[in-house]
Chain A
Amino acid sequence: MEILVCIKRYILAGSEFVLTADGTEIDARQLGYTLAPHEEVAVEQAIRFVEEFGGSTTVLSLGVPEAEEQMREQMAIGADRGLLLATDGSEWDPQATAAAIVDAVRAQPQAFDIIMFGAEAADSNNSQVGIRVAHALGLPIVTNVRGVSITDGVARCERVVGNNREVYEVRLPAVLTTREGLNIPRYPSVPGRIKARKKPIDTTTPAKPAAKVEKVRLIVPPNQKTGATILGNGPAAAAAAVAMMEEIGVLA
């Protein structure tokens, strides 16, 4: 089984954001990069399927060359190879991103049985790329997957919609977008790290088409007062605690 998982390097920020001078990005000087949890579960799922059915897992990322860091991270837990669509770091809109991925998929010698995405990019939250790729490749897609199993080439996918659970069956090849909770991703081991360093990454540099959707700028909402208020110590705090519970409607 050949599986492609598309992942995106993004900034690991704290609870408060600092923007770059032009206001279009989060200032990452003090921060590091990571993968979204809902993309990590996709890679984990791919590795489990390969363990179950054989084949290989490819991770693809469109982004700066440093995205190799995130690809190696996934190789350390079992992804087999990488496809890096290198950019200069400027933002690609969902349509351009999808087109570049489609081109890359078509250029591969092998066909993929499953192409997986996180349900949306953790930073831009457009929820478009997976759907656009499926459409362009003429593949069925199930979004927001929280559970999946494969029997005889058919994927049984669970998705959560509000308080309800929907179950779909889809014949492979197909596109799936995943949600956190699908599984618990494994952590890398040191031998996994060492193996990952030797795994292949093919780098291509797709031409960037003119953007059709442009990010104007980011605005950090006005400072929201956070933090705890100490109502008192010991039994003396009881009255204040009761008053507070009444105020917020926990106690009638």
Chain B
Amino acid sequence: MSSLPAKAKCVVIGAGIVGNSLVYHLAQMGWTDIVQIDKGPLPNPGGSTGHASNFIFPVDHNKEMAALTLDSQRQYIDLGVNTTCGAMEVARTQERMQEFARRMTSSKAWGIESVLLTPEEAVELVPYMDKDVIVGAFYTPSGSVVDSLRAGTIMRERAQEMGALQSFANTEVLDLVVEEGHIKAVVTDQGTIEADTVVIATGLWGPKLAKMAGAEIPLTPTVHQMKDVGPVPRFMDAKGDIEYPIVRDMDTFMYERQHGTGLEIGSYAHRPILYEPDDVPSNAQAALSPTEFPFTQVDFDLQDEHALELMPEIVGDESVREKYAINGLLSYTPDGMPILGETPEVKGLWSASAVWIKEGPGTGRAVAQLMTRGWSDIDVSASNIARFYEHQKSRKHVKDRVAESFNKTYGIVHPNEQYLSNRNVRLSPYDRRERELGAVFFETAGWERPWWYESNAHLVEKFGDAVMPRTAEWESRWWSPIINAEHLQMRETAGVVDLTAFCIFDIVGPKALDVVQQACVRQMDVAVGRVVYTPVLAANGGFVSDLTVMRLGWDHFRVVTGGAHGMVDLKWFKDLCPAEGGAQVQDLTNSYTTLGIWGPNARRIMEQITSADMSNEGFKFSTCKTIEIDTLRVLASRISYVGDLGWELYIPIEQGEALWDRVWEAGKAFGLIPVGIGVYGTTGRLEKCYRAFGNELESDFTAVEAGMTTPKVKAQDFVGKEAHLRQREEAPVTVCCSLTVDDHTSSTGEKRYMMGREPILTLDGNTIADAHGRNSYVTSAGSAPSLGKHVLMTYLPPQYAVEGTKLLVEYLGEQYPVTVARVGAKPLFDPENERILG
């Protein structure tokens, strides 16, 4: 065996499914001189890949996960290691049947063929189930089982055959060397390798390795229990690994699958059992493998009974014995998403962590694309490692959130469902006042944000049916008609909105202008005091973000962006700063608070408390200036995301309550009410057709498709310019549109309201795909109370993107008529923006 080289272009640590697919895709993208190391032996080094159940259920409500899974499955097929057997989820409750209707919705939205089955039909496919235990099933015929170890070996060997890769087993990392913020070398027990690019693809050991470099990978090893019973008389003549569909017994959080002559029974129902990465044994210390802990039967007692109920013929057969049972370790993260990308702490140090078998090769490809060209075909921004705020990296946060979400692995999770653990971590300066007003808090990035205020409950009566009351439990959950009442009242008088969760950072220095010009599509060389809303694009012309930039000085720009994604944007700007200096990025998120005030009375309220010129002429739209309110010096910015006249008020966070009190006192005479994020994030923007990052704006959509182009493109260079110019010349294959729902009445007569991510269909019920194969689905959904309509945003191919076109939306198994109300970005409400500009 050759010895470890002293130098390499790239070191990939880890030879599980992720590391192996990553080295393969890096080689495919043209990289050479890649070294892969693993502390364990090959082909099974002892990580989670080695004990994975290896099955693929293609349907996921989450678009990113579904896309990664579908790409992975295609790759497994190409590698010849995919056995299609069908994937069946069975329901024991009516609530689960509603969830299956929702899964059908996601299945159609992502273009996957699935079908709902009666118990009789389900048992025809899986004859060893007890028909009387289930009430129905959701079946995806393309569900499959893969050989992930074989896939990894093939991909690794292909990279070796291309001359791009050397792999070293039994090579343990002892240290990671960082110099001046950049990774320099990997120290192993077999020698040191210098490299400018290092990837941690070590699954649950990621946190331990990242710490060696001073970085964080916030995941936790978590037990998933499984046992293998057999030989099963019915399977005695099995010719392959699997001949019957895999079954997920969703209401008991379990699965059962044929495994040769045996039946594997797995569970996500037991108590959360979490480990520290430091407590995972070495290969030598482990009795089985490092990630296969001894099975703890007591945690599985109930699961035995549930398996027996569903499959009495097999599980109840005393001759069928337990052959193998483990507490297998998997990686879980506090928000359920993988951890991908370059670490914000160390340049050149990458993570490809918390990835399961079903999304392994797709993730390997996506990370390889990010490493080699800066953008990936599948938008993985929700998995970006830079997304974590400091408190989200704490072990307690990671473990508490994983403990809370573990049993939801097969759960019915509402799109707006809130975590209960680790709340009240970040409190805005208005928190005390908000609690006095009965704020109902949702969490964004640790911030407690009022979604609506119970003190506004009386407005529901005032506006009556205009609040579009909901009777169905599903869409009433995590919702209140007060949101729509606040919206209507704000449009009549004014509302004050807590926007503390904004991420705020300054770019300062003589080269600050160059940095923001590079980052932003719009012209940044504007007069001091201008506020510019701009897309931020990747090299492919897809969205990295959309955000607002204020020019505060010739060498001073302030970026304001959404809290959820803000840390990723911060890194994006930092990365654009010249290495030799001249521009610096300062994170001021925790230094400044933002208070929004909007509505027809906003100007008059402000005029009560400041002598500054707040008139339309004296304070133009899209400008900002410092105003004085008593002793408070407030940076006021005249923009709006809700469609009404008003300002964002920025002030050092400790003076926030004083600002609130002055605005509040002045507002009393003008009908000022507190308004929650339910309005700011949904109703206000939807009737204005404002797009949102992560909904309409993703890296797989362009600014042209999103309808966010300006007549001219600035002369200066910016990231994505070449692609953007090209895209402007081409006719878009899809266009962002706003639809209104024509009739909400379901077959039971109850009115139903779409929540987002539903498929848009033609009148004959067919899905709609654009020329790039992207299906039309609802990117955002919500009430537009001022229009009296429920609005859906979606991308539509040009032949459908015509105002007045009649289409259908499928929601929970039923289809509802919709009309294309707007093509492009022109607002549905106040289309000439008279309210904002007045």
Instruction: Tell me the A residues contacting B by CB distance below 8 Å.
Output: 12-18, 29-34, 69, 72-73, 76, 186-194, 197, 226-227, 230
- Once A16-B284, A197-B301, A230-B1 are accepted as A-B contacts, the answer to whether A30 and B322 lie under 8 Å apart by CB is no
Interface segment, B285-293, B351-359, B658-666, B699-707?
Answer: B285-293
Of B280, B283, B318, which contacts A189 at CB under 8 A? Answer: B318
A246 to B: closest C-beta gap in Å: 23
Residue B304 lies at the interface, judged by CB distance under 8 Å to chain A: yes
In the complex, what residues of A have CB within 8 A of residue B282's CB?
A: 14, 16
Whole-angstrom distance between the alpha carbons of A32 and B299 in the complex?
Answer: 14
Q: In the complex the two chains form, is B321's CB within 8 Å of A14's CB?
A: no
Contact of B287 among A13, A72, A188 (CB under 8 A): A13
Q: How far is the CA of A15 from the CA of B297 in the complex (A)?
A: 24
Distance in Å: Cβ of A114 to nearest Cβ of chain B? 25
Q: CA of A188 to CA of B325 in the docked complex: distance in angstroms?
A: 11
Q: Flag if A193 contacts B285 (CB, 8 Å).
A: no
Inter-chain contact B318/A14, CB cutoff 8 Å: no
How far is it, in angstroms, between the C-alpha of A16 and the C-alpha of B1 when the chains are bound?
26
CA distance A186 to B307 in the complex (A): 21
Cα–Cα distance between A140 and B692 once the two chains are bound (Å): 84
Check B286–A30 contact: CB distance below 8 A: yes
Using known A-B contacts A190-B307, A191-B308, A194-B305, determine if residue A15 contacts B281 with beta carbons closer than 8 Å: no
- B-side contacts of A12, CB under 8 Å: 287, 294
Interface residues of B (CB under 8 A from A): 1, 170, 229, 279-287, 293-298, 301, 304-305, 307-308, 315-323, 327
Say which residue of A32, A33, A73, A227 sits within 8 Å of B170 (CB atoms). Answer: A227
Contact of A33 among B281, B294, B304, B315 (CB under 8 A): B294
Establish whether residues B320 and A32, one from each chain, have CB atoms under 8 Å apart when the complex forms: no
Chain B: minimal CB distance from A203 (Å): 16
Taking A193-B297, A227-B170 as given, write out 17 further A-B residue pairs in contact, using a Cβ cutoff of 8 Å, ordered by the A residue number: A18-B281, A18-B285, A30-B293, A69-B297, A72-B297, A187-B321, A187-B322, A187-B323, A189-B229, A189-B317, A189-B320, A190-B229, A190-B307, A190-B316, A192-B318, A194-B301, A194-B308
Chain A residues near B317 (CB-CB < 8 A): 189, 191
Expressed in whole angstroms, the Cα–Cα distance for A31 and B319 within the complex equals: 30
Query: Least Cβ distance of A31 to chain B in Å?
Result: 6
A221 to B170, CA, bound (A): 22
Q: How far is the CB of A128 from chain B (nearest CB, A)?
A: 27
CA distance A197 to B323 in the complex (A): 20
- Contact of B304 with A190 in the complex, beta carbons under 8 Å: yes
Nearest chain-B residue to A29 (Cβ)? Answer: B279
* B286 proximity list for chain A (CB < 8 A): 14, 30
Contacts of B318 on A, CB cut-off 8 Å? Answer: 189, 191-192
- The residues of B that contact A188 with a CB separation of less than 8 Å are 321-322
Closest beta carbon of chain A to B223's beta carbon, Å: 11
A-B contact pairs, 13 of them (CB 8 A): A14-B282, A14-B283, A14-B287, A33-B294, A72-B298, A73-B297, A76-B297, A187-B321, A189-B319, A189-B321, A190-B304, A190-B315, A194-B304
- CB-CB under 8 A from A187, the residues of chain B are 321-323
Establish whether residues B294 and A30, one from each chain, have CB atoms under 8 Å apart when the complex forms.
Answer: no
A193 to B280, CA, bound (A): 28
Name which residue of chain A comes closest to B305, CB basis: A194
Pair B284/A15 contact, Cβ less than 8 Å: yes
CB closest residue in chain B, given A77 = B321
**5 A-B pairs closest in CB distance:** A32-B294, A16-B284, A187-B321, A30-B281, A12-B287
Asked if A186 contacts B294 (CB within 8 A), the reply is: no
Closest to B284 in A: A16
Q: Please state if A193 and B287 are interface contacts (CB–CB under 8 Å).
A: no
From A16, A32, A189, B296 is in contact (CB under 8 Å) with A32
Interfacial chain B residues near A73, Cβ < 8 Å: 297
Nearest Cβ on chain B to A69's Cβ, whole angstroms = 6
Output the least CB separation between B256 and chain A (Å): 11
Taking CB atoms, residues of chain A closer than 8 Å to B327 are: 32
- Distance in angstroms between the alpha carbons of A73 and B227 in the assembled complex: 14
Q: Which residues of A contact B280 (CB under 8 A)?
A: 30
Give the Cβ gap from A109 to chain B, nearest Cβ, in Å: 29
Contact between B316 and A34 (Cβ–Cβ < 8 Å)?
no
**Cα-based distance from A15 to B290 in the complex (angstroms):** 12
Q: In the complex, which of the residues B287, B295, B305, B320 contacts A31, with contact meaning CB atoms closer than 8 Å?
A: B287
Give chain A residues whose Cβ lies under 8 Å from the Cβ of B298: 69, 72
B285 touches A16 (CB 8 A): yes
Which of B1, B285, B294, B319 makes the CB contact (< 8 A) with A34? B294
